[in-house]
């Protein structure tokens, strides 16, 4: 069968920066997700605002409010504040925070607010969660009536509502400490609760165990608190809670620490330049292997066989297929251009339906997709045309956001998550089954966390194949350094957090396309004209984690 090339022809060579703003975006999302999955009791509240707005927002917090500083590897990067107020039928829990990261020299911020309404036993009855990356807020509101959850999602582009029947009553991370305290904290007690995450619109199990009562320093004085160890989305964290359920301190494996402080100390923000270096290093999975197995050009890789350690717990159904096979710790990926159709996937049709944040039925998405593919023929041709189109229309800019396809179409800003969300929604609107893959991709010496689409391309009657593509890298199909760990949206990306800082990768075998020997600086080159056409590729070494800015 014929195979389309990955990169679009005719791209002009440009000078490249050694590290990119998109790496910052990926890292900022990584840090956001780390809050969502790891900093279990304070995660919903990180945002940065001008001083006037900041004062107005925080004015509602009284003398009983709890202030905490946020640190990453011992460097101050933000603060949070929370308080509990009586209401006619229970309490309201309000939380705000500021998380500021200087990523690659550019201030990166996200604005978030949250409110939980609970009854007298701190059982969740409703909530509001808002995130604004600077392009307009995305707000998620929920009302619980028994096990019926009514959700409303508002963005500057649309308002959508849906109702879900939950298997059990959920908690929010922000009301969980008070709920545990109401049930009674004592060494040896274990809790298993369903936690609803308004950022990913999913439920997940959190397992907690109360350990010994300890003395913890907080706001310059010793405070007795219970040490509570929790596991959420595969990530372990430790918190110290008072008898009243107040969070004194939290620690996560990747170096995030939250500790109670005075308001003056908590709000004293300083973001040193060293923080960005640490965050970049934290996001990389180092590669071990002899120089002969070095990847010089990812798009030239025909077959890659690696051992990935520290990445257990992913479903076999998500690891296998679409050019990838996995046995234990060994992953093998082949060039997707060599894939042939197999028996039709009976489940493919379910990846046509709209989802929250993937509004494939929205008129604006439908219209944009049709306009982008007017000259394309067949599902495969349309799928490739969409890769080129989405890559071309989005400005590559660090953005901490909940990737929403309609919002991405409006703002035209983002990186791998925004590219992927828009692509999947547009592909589905054209009747092309599409889903989100998350995992690792190779960028100049290391693998970084990344997201990309997979599209289902029908072949002869009764046959078809899932094809990985990458609109961020402008690759159709995606190169063989894309190592998939899971499929899905932010909830599945949160599952990857469990391997951050633990994963180690060694290259066992590397097979590249014949004639792809790299040109080395200082090498004596043959300057005679070549009598064969040389296709030009976009996207080599460019991606969500390392976009290379043009000069």
pLDDT tens for 340-365 read 999 999 999 999 999 888 999 999 99
| pTM summary value | 0.72
* 241 in a structural domain: yes
pLDDT for the residue numbered 62: 64
pLDDT for the residue numbered 137: 80
* 523 in a structural domain: no
- 246 or 43: which leads in pLDDT: 246
How far apart CA 364 and CA 356 sit, in angstroms, is 16
* 13 in a structural domain: no
Parallel/antiparallel/unpaired status of strands 159-165 and 148-154: antiparallel
Boundaries of domain holding 143: 25-278
Q: Are residues 389 and 339 part of one domain? A: yes
Q: Are residues 185 and 268 part of one domain? A: yes
* 16 in a structural domain: no
pLDDT for the residue numbered 258: 86
* 541 in a structural domain: no
Q: Are residues 261 and 190 part of one domain? A: yes
Phi, psi of 406 (to 5 degrees): -65, -40
Tell me the pLDDT tens digit for each residue of 471-502: 999 999 999 999 999 898 766 666 676 677 77
Range in 110-119, 409-418, 529-538 the model is least confident about: 529-538
* 529 in a structural domain: no
Last residue of a domain, one of 241, 257, 278: 278
* 304-318, 327-341, 497-511 — most confident range: 327-341
Q: Are residues 384 and 270 part of one domain? A: no
Burial of residue 403 (number of CB atoms within 10 Å: 0-12, 13-18, 19+): buried
Q: Are residues 299 and 182 part of one domain? A: no
Separation of first and last alpha carbons in the chain = 39
Task: Read off the pLDDT band of 11 (50, 70, 90).
Answer: very low
Phi, psi of 277 (to 5 degrees): -65, -45
Number of structural domains found in the chain:
2
């Amino acid at each position: 069968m014929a195979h389309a090339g990955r990169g679009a022809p005719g791209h002009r060579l440009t000078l490249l920066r050694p590290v990119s703003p998109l790496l910052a975006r990926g890292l900022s999302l990584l840090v956001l997700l780390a809050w969502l999955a790891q900093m279990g009791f304070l995660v919903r509240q990180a945002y940065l605002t001008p001083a006037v707005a900041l004062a107005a927002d925080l004015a509602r917090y009284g003398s009983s409010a709890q202030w905490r500083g946020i640190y990453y590897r011992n460097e101050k990067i933000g603060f949070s504040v929370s308080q509990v107020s009586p209401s006619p039928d229970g309490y309201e829990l309000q939380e705000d925070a500021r998380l500021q990261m200087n990523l690659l020299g550019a201030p990166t911020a996200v604005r978030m607010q949250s409110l939980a309404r609970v009854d007298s036993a701190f059982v969740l009855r409703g909530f509001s969660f808002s995130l604004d990356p600077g392009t307009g807020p995305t707000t998620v509101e929920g009302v619980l009536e028994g096990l019926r959850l009514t959700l409303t999602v508002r963005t500057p582009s649309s308002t959508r509502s849906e109702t879900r029947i939950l298997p059990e009553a959920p908690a929010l991370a922000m009301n969980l400490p008070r709920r545990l305290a109401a049930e009674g904290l004592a060494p040896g007690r274990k809790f298993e609760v369903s936690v609803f995450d308004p950022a990913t619109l999913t439920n997940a199990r959190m397992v907690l165990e109360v350990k010994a009562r300890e003395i913890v320093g907080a706001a310059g004085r010793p405070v007795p608190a219970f040490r509570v160890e929790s596991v959420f989305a595969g990530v372990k964290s430790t918190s110290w809670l008072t008898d009243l359920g107040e969070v004194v301190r939290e620690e996560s494996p990747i170096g995030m620490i939250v500790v109670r402080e005075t308001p003056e100390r908590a709000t004293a923000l300083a973001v040193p330049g060293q923080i960005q270096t640490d965050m970049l290093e934290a996001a990389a999975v180092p590669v071990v292997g002899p120089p002969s197995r070095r990847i010089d050009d990812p798009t030239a890789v025909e077959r890659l066989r690696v051992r990935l350690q520290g990445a257990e717990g992913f479903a076999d159904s998500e690891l296998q297929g679409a050019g990838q096979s996995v046995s234990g710790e060994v992953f093998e990926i082949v060039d997707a251009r060599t894939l042939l159709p197999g028996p039709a996937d009976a489940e493919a049709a379910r990846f046509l339906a709209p989802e929250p944040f993937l509004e494939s039925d929205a008129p604006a998405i439908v219209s944009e997709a049709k306009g982008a593919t007017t000259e394309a023929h067949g599902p495969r041709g349309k799928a490739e045309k969409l890769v080129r189109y989405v890559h071309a229309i989005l400005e590559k800019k660090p953005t901490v956001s909940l990737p929403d396809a309609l919002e991405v179409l409006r703002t035209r800003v983002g990186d791998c998550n925004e590219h992927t969300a828009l692509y999947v929604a547009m592909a589905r609107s054209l009747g092309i089954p599409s889903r989100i893959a998350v995992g690792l991709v190779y960028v100049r010496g290391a693998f970084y966390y990344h997201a990309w689409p997979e599209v289902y391309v029908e072949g002869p009657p009764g046959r078809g194949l899932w094809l990985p593509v990458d609109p961020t890298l402008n690759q159709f199909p995606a190169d063989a350094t894309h190592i998939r760990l899971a499929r899905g949206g932010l909830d599945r990306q949160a599952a990857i957090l469990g391997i951050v800082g633990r994963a180690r990768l060694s290259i066992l075998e590397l097979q590249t396309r014949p004639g792809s020997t790299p040109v080395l600086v200082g090498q004596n080159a043959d300057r005679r004209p070549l009598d064969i056409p040389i296709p030009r590729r976009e996207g080599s070494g460019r991606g969500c984690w390392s976009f290379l800015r043009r000069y």
